[in-house]
Amino acid sequence: MNLIVCKNYDEMSKKAAEVIAECISAAGEQLVSFPGGDTPLGMVNVFTEMVNKGKVDISRTRFVQLDEWVGLGEQEYGSCVKFLNDNLLNKLQYSFFDTHLINGLAADIQNECTRLNEYIEHFGPLALSVLGIGLNGHLGFNEDGVDFENNAHIIPLSETTKKVMGKYFDKEHVLEYGITQGLKQIMAAKTVVLLANGAHKAAILKKTFKGPVTNTVPSSILQQHNNCFVIVDSEAAKELR
C-alpha cells in the first residue's frame, strides 16, 4: 500500500488528481473508473481543470462508472451518474474516448449488470479504479458479506448504507439495492486509488488495512492489491500511523 497523508481535503484532492493524471498519461488505450459520493468531488474538480488546460490527455481513455443506486436515474440528485455528469463529464472540454454509464432506472436492471460486465470484459481490465469507502468498508456497493469473486452485480444495501444515504438525496427515496462493479474487477485493476477524508473514516481505514482480510470488511481485500494508493487527509489517517 502506498499511503499518502495530506494535511486537508484540498491537498488530498489535488494529490489524487495528480496521481490519477499520471496514471492516465503513462498508459495508452485504457479503461478507468471513478466513483460517486462526496469524497471525490474535489479531486474531480482538479482533474477536470487539468484536462481542460491540456495537462492530461484523455482521448484514448475509456471511462466506466463504478456503481449506482438502483432506482435513481440521471436526473435525480444523489445518483452517481448525476454526480459524474454534473461535475466531470459535462464540464470536460475534451472527451473521453468512450463513456459507459449505469442506468439505475433500467426496467431490466439485471441487463445493466450484463452490459457492465461485457464492457469491462471487452475493454478491460481496468488500468485504474478510483474508489471511495463506506463506513462499513464498502467499495462501490460491495457491501459487507459480499463474495470477493463477484463481477458486476445487484446487491441489497446494508443497514449502514441505508442510514447514511439520506445525505445524498431526499428521504422520499426508499432504496433497497445497489448495482456495482464487483471486487474481482476492482482487484484486477492495474492501479487502485482509494480516497478518504474526515475523522469518521478513520476507524474503517484501520479495519481495512490493519485488520484481517475478510468479506465482513470488503475493503480489506485491498491489502492484497499490489499497486494501491491510499490518499487520505490527516483526520482519516489518524489510526493508520
Residues that bind ligand GLP (CB under 6 A): 35-39, 66-67, 132-134, 140-141, 161
Minimum Å distance from CB 140 to ligand GLP? 5
Minimum Å distance from CB 62 to ligand GLP? 19
Of 67 and 233, nearer to ligand GLP (C-beta) is 67
Of 49 and 198, nearer to ligand GLP (C-beta) is 198
Residue 142 designated active-site: no
What b/e string do you get for 22-56 counting C-beta neighbours within 10 Å, with b at 16 or more? ebbeeeeebbbbbbbbebbebbbbbbbebbeeeeb
Nearest Cα to Cα of residue 64 among 173, 144, 151, 167: 151
C-alpha cell at 124: 478491460
Residue 29 designated active-site: no
The DSSP symbol for 165 reads: G
Of 66 and 221, nearer to ligand GLP (C-beta) is 66
Query: Which of 103, 136, 151, 197 is labelled catalytic?
Result: 136
Of 104 and 132, nearer to ligand GLP (C-beta) is 132
Residue 52 designated active-site: no
Angle between helices 41-52 and 9-26 (to 10 degrees): 50
Minimum Å distance from CB 80 to ligand GLP? 7
Residue 151 designated active-site: no
Minimum Å distance from CB 134 to ligand GLP? 4
SS3 10: helix
218 prior amide bond cis, ω within 30: no
Backbone angles phi, psi at 195, to 5 degrees: -115, 140
Query: Which of 68, 87, 100, 138 is labelled catalytic?
Result: 138
Q: Which residues are catalytic?
A: 67, 136, 138, 143
